[in-house]
Amino acid sequence: MTNVVITIAGTQRDADGEMDSIEMMTAGRWYDKNGVRYIIYEDTEISGLEGTKTMLKLEADQVSLLRMGKVEYRQEFRLGQKSVSPYATPYGIMQMGIETRQLDLNMEETGGTIYIVYDLEINGQWQSANTLSVKVREENKRGY
């Protein structure tokens, strides 16, 4: 496993056009197995998911985001496709739908970027248009 620094930025625009954004930087690890790259980090208080471990699974044509701990769910981002999965919180379980509008994955040996544009539904109702940007670089190395 390689120690990495991860910068995550996201935006969310609701039906009223209200924008919300979040940005955080955290330490994590990555490793490659059978041609797939895995990035793992602990969520922080900033994200509201303290006590949750997040794993990004990067494949040639899709990104999967898995969260385990305080909340549990799996989001699958595949260009032009919709995925639905249960989202388990301390308050109950909802169905989350993700429809990926854009998926750019640029990973190299020492780092890279992920950029995703997607729509979010909860229990079949559209909630927001979102972006997710993830930059990863090896610890103590410059650039992406």
pLDDT of residue 110: 86
CA distance 85 to 1: 29
pLDDT of residue 91: 86
Retrieve residue 55's tokens. Answer: 């794993």
What is the chain's pLDDT, residue by residue, as a tens digit (144 residues)? 899 999 999 999 999 999 999 999 999 999 999 999 999 998 766 555 666 899 999 998 999 999 998 778 899 999 999 999 998 888 889 999 999 999 999 998 889 999 999 999 999 999 999 999 999 999 875 554
Location of structure tokens 């699958």: 76
pLDDT of residue 44: 62
Specify the pTM. Answer: 0.88
